[in-house]
Amino acid sequence: MKNYFSSSFKLGVLGGGQLGRMLLTETQKLDIYTVILDGNSEAPCAQICNEFHQGDLLDFDTVYNFGKQVDLLTIEIENVNIDALDKLEAEGLTIYPKPKNLRIIQNKAAQKKFYKDHDIPTAPFNHYAYLEELKHSYENNIINFPFVWKSARFGYDGNGVKIVRSIEDLESLPTGECITEQLIPFKNELAVIVARNKQGEIKTYPVVEMEFHPEANQVEYVICPARIDEAVAKKAREVALKVADAFDFVGLLAVEMFQTENNEILVNEVAPRTHNSGHYSIEASYTNQFEQHLRSILNLPLGNTESKVAGIMVNLVGAEGYTGEVVYKNIEEILKVDGVTPHIYGKKTTKPFRKMGHVTIVNEDINEARKVAQQVKETIKVIAK
């Protein structure tokens, strides 16, 4: 085995945001020298990694030259220059997740086609190279309102996804490559994180459930374990395993799924990295997702994915109406409550809906955790000075 710990081994990471920052906690714990590339000199990782490089993650030369300086390369964001990764890999650099996986996942149309080709359950879809093609399809009654439109490229956190109910909605869409899906009513939105290392050891985390705000249609709580039937949970973990196997994936793969009214599991999309839906694992799991990511890409034995206690995660996003130097109002109130841990991502300025941190609530009793989560949600507010 290679000697990664307190050694001259250099781990390169593309992206220096909050996911990278939480990964750094683990590289520090194991003393793995970590070099980070990010476009923003004030990225959350900038001050606390061993070496920080500023540069454009989508620029071929920047990514290529960065890759030449490290011993193994990984990502914390998937929107990176894949051509550079292909060249680095051809020249012998180990890159996890694999560039060919990233290329498929980067494009939602390619991702959906991949599921279809590999017999992975997913909502039926159509693929259009341009918006004009989609309009043409509508005019010819091939598709009908309502439907779900998704940009093929760089959709992120709900951007790049829209429910199209009218001509006006259709006219307002961006013009580029896209897919459409039937609007399928679902009971639950679930996610399963899969870890797999090079030698093929594979493990799934328990199923988590996104609980939505009844009106705002925004995820309010990520709840682990999901409050679903054991049989559905088993099926969801099996589907997630199947996706990771199909990709021959190495690293962490977050599989987002729908549980339909008929208890079918449909894959929505995947993220080839640590994921918001796994943040609860820092406090709740035997092995948190960030440590597990390291274990998987370094071909170390995978850790126990089960939970010590139930966990719920609440995102801390900038409140509407506030832009400027951030203040976490009432944070001392939530610190009074047992099992509450805030994570502050290190962004100095807030703006509406910016992801500024998260709070984890753990408890032996999931119902008690759920009550505390609501209390947390109603108490802390991310505002500006």
| Near its own copies by CB under 8 A: residue from 92, 168, 262, 336 | 336
Q: Is 322 in the site for its own copies (CB under 8 A)?
A: no
**Distance, first Cα to last Cα, the chain:** 51
Q: Is 160 in the site for its own copies (CB under 8 A)?
A: no
Q: Is 144 in the site for its own copies (CB under 8 A)?
A: no
| Near its own copies by CB under 8 A: residue from 235, 347, 370, 377 | 347
* Cis-peptide, bond into residue 146, ω within 30° of zero: yes
Calculate the CA dihedral of residues 297, 300, 304, 305 and round it to 10 degrees.
10
Q: Is 380 helix (H, G, I), strand (E, B) or coil?
A: coil
Q: Of 137, 139, 115, nearest to 126 (Cα)?
A: 137
Q: Is 346 in the site for its own copies (CB under 8 A)?
A: yes
Q: Is 308 in the site for its own copies (CB under 8 A)?
A: yes
Q: Is 316 in the site for its own copies (CB under 8 A)?
A: no
What is the sign, positive or negative, of the torsion defined by CA atoms of 160, 163, 169, 171?
Answer: positive
Query: What is the size of the binding site for its own copies (CB under 8 A)?
Result: 47
Show the site string, 38-57: x = touches its own copies by CB under 8 A, - = not. Answer: ---------xxxx-------
Show the site string, 228-267: x = touches its own copies by CB under 8 A, - = not. Answer: ----------------------------------------
Give the nearer residue to its own copies in terms of CB position, either 149 or 322: 322
| Near its own copies by CB under 8 A: residue from 155, 303, 353, 371 | 303
Residue 44 · residue 354 · CB < 8 Å = no
Q: Is 106 in the site for its own copies (CB under 8 A)?
A: no
Amino acid at 226: A
Amino acid at 255: V
Per CB under 8 A, which region of 27-35, 59-67, 92-100, 152-160 contacts its own copies? Answer: 27-35
Q: Is 343 in the site for its own copies (CB under 8 A)?
A: yes
Q: Is 326 in the site for its own copies (CB under 8 A)?
A: yes
Residue 12, C-beta contacts closer than 8 angstroms, at least 6 positions apart = 34, 35, 36, 37, 66, 67, 69, 70, 71, 72, 73, 74
Give the nearer residue to its own copies in terms of CB position, either 246 or 344: 344
Measure the CA–CA gap between 374 and 175, rounded to whole angstroms.
Answer: 40
Residue 309 · residue 363 · CB < 8 Å = yes
Q: How far is CA 63 from CA 80, 91, 121, 181, 307, in A?
A: 8, 14, 35, 34, 37
Q: Residue 211 CA to chain centroid, in angstroms?
A: 16
Q: Is 76 in the site for its own copies (CB under 8 A)?
A: no
Give the nearer residue to its own copies in terms of CB position, either 25 or 260: 25
Strand partners, 150: 161, 179
Minimum CB separation of residue 6 from its own copies in Å reads 5
Give the nearer residue to its own copies in terms of CB position, either 38 or 291: 291
Q: Is 332 in the site for its own copies (CB under 8 A)?
A: yes
Measure the CA–CA gap between 338 and 354, rounded to whole angstroms.
Answer: 27
| Near its own copies by CB under 8 A: residue from 10, 30, 60, 353 | 30
Give the nearer residue to its own copies in terms of CB position, either 142 or 337: 337
- Summarize as ranges the residues that interact with its own copies (CB under 8 A): 1, 3, 5-7, 21, 24-25, 28-31, 47-50, 286-287, 291, 295, 300-301, 303-304, 308-309, 325-328, 331-332, 335-336, 338-348, 362, 364
